[in-house]
Amino acid sequence: MPNILVLGGTTEASALAAVLAARGDAAVLSYAGRVASPKVQQIPVRIGGFGGAAGLAGYLRSHAITHLVDATHPFAAQMSANAIAAADDAGVPLIALTRPAWTPIAGDRWTCVRDIGAAVAALAGPPRRVMLALGRMHVDAFAAQPQHTYLLRFVDAPVKAPELPQYSLVVDRGPFDVAGDQHLLQAHDIEIVVCKNAGGVGAVAKVAAARALGLPMIMIDRPALPARREVHAVADVVRWLDHEADRGV
Ligand code: 3Y8
Ligand code: NAP
């Protein structure tokens, strides 16, 4: 019988968890513990780091995990690298459930940059009204461009005030919808949107909203990851689980 560990934190991880619950599979979804109240899941949840790749390998062994599914966000690069190393060390099959990157369509005004630092640099110039749809973890880097008026969106109210001279803060969690994001951009008279190329559907609303309003975007490319088996659909993970289980791998 499979005993599955899902590394979660994404819309796709939640969708997979619901399918595993319906199938009656033994499965646990893991969160880092980044937000105060993570989404309630239909399978048991564990919260907190493992203690690096070695800690995760130890968890795989001590909990007799038979299959590891990395369904983390494309920017959770450290977790994904640790999953590859730990699965190899513990001899546990690994699959990644991830989302294809968003791609621009005709008329889009994207400036693609390689990381947060390049996004900060791309904001050099006269004051503008900028939406940073990046969450909380990287906002302080934008203090290097204090001339702008920022709109921030966090999952939780921050413990420490962001180090930006001029900002508005919205506390909200996705998945978001296009009408809501279009209203938000218009209400704050946003001139440019900065975001990560997260892919998927839970964060795409702002991309569609900016497109509808003809706004430029600074799109941060996702970090490169070591090679691993990757699928883009929950059904492909289920097929893998059944196939690998049949082979007794
Ligand atoms: C803790 C667990 C689900 C998962 C939902 C997806 C969609 C909604 C959109 C914007 C962009 C952002 C941010 C975002 C989205 C989904 C998904 C996604 C982006 C939760 C969650 C956890 C987190 C962590 C949080 C980060 C932050 C990033 C906000 C749950 C709600 C900006 C990423 O305060 C903090 O420390 C927040 C940290 C990592 C990035 C950052 O740098 O701040 N996600 N988000 C996970 C854990 O503890 O392991 O409560 O559901 C999950 C979701 N957030 O099941 O429906 O699938 O991507 N999350 C980005 O894409 O740029 C918001 O505002 O438009
Ligand atoms: P990260 O930088 O790749 O990971 C840093 C450390 O956090 C990891 O080494 C691990 O600690 C711990 N960790 C990360 N994900 C974990 C998980 N699912 N379960 C247990 N521990 C985890 O990760 P991150 O970018 O901070 O993302 C953290 C979580 O938020 C992930 O679940 C991710 O899916 C979710 N998320 C992230 C983003 C984003 O923009 N980065 C967006 C949406 C959702 P140890 O080394 O101690 O094991």
Give yes or no for residue 247 having a pLDDT over 70: no
Q: What is the mean pLDDT of the chain?
A: 96
Distance from the alpha carbon of residue 32 to the mean position of ligand 1, in angstroms: 11
Give yes or no for residue 30 having a pLDDT over 80: yes
Percent of the chain exceeding pLDDT 90 equals 96
Distance from the alpha carbon of residue 72 to the mean position of ligand 2, in angstroms: 7
Q: For residue range 61-98, what is the model confidence (pLDDT) as tens digits?
A: 999 999 999 999 999 999 999 999 999 999 999 999 99
Map out the domains of the chain with their CATH numbers.
3-99+224-247 (3.40.50.720), 110-220 (3.40.50.720)
Distance from the alpha carbon of residue 160 to the mean position of ligand 2, in angstroms: 21
53-84 in b/e form (b: 16+ CB < 10 A) is: beebbbbbeeeebbbbbbbbbbbbeebbbbbb
How many Å apart are CA 91 and CA 57, to the nearest integer?
9
Contact indicator for 228, 84 with CB cutoff of 8 Å: yes
Is residue 73 within 6 Å of ligand 2 at its C-beta?
yes
Q: What integer is the mean pLDDT of 23-49?
A: 97
Indicate which ligand has the atom closest to the C-alpha of 136.
1
